[in-house]
Amino acid sequence: MKDLSPSALRRRRLALVRRMPPVERILRGSLIERYKRCGKPGCRCAQGPGHGPKHYLSVSQAGTLPRMDYVLQEQRAQVEAYLANYRLVRELLKEIGEINRELLCRRERL
């Protein structure tokens, strides 16, 4: 990044901003796949892996246990896409922040 001109850095930053997904399509957490046993005697789940797969959105907050929310099968693809958007935003913001820091260190306009 140090070898790029200030104008090249600004162009790179603009290109990164344009790659940002819409903020309403962002979801933080992890998608967990689980198999559960129902506890009924003689059910096939007692000997096998369990009923499922069932999907849950796991979201952690500092100082608390992770929250697990059930995700309907028809929502799974959308939830996966929203989680991917969150990861992309984090990567893009990291690089944008690095560009802004580089411009600041060079005493260039941000």
Q: What is the pLDDT of residues 51-67, one digit of tens each?
A: 999 999 999 999 999 99
Q: Let me know if residue 110 belongs to a domain.
A: no
Distance CA 22, CA 37 (A): 39
Q: What is the pLDDT of residues 2-49, one digit of tens each?
A: 899 999 999 999 999 999 999 999 999 999 999 988 888 888 888 888
Q: Which amino acid is at 95?
A: E
Q: Let me know if residue 78 belongs to a domain.
A: yes
Question: Rounded to the nearest 5°, which phi and psi values hold at 62?
Answer: -55, 130
> Structural domain tally of the chain?
1
Domain residue limits at 37: 6-105
Alpha-carbon torsion (14, 18, 21, 24), positive or negative: positive
Helices in 6-110 by DSSP H: which ranges?
6-18, 76-105
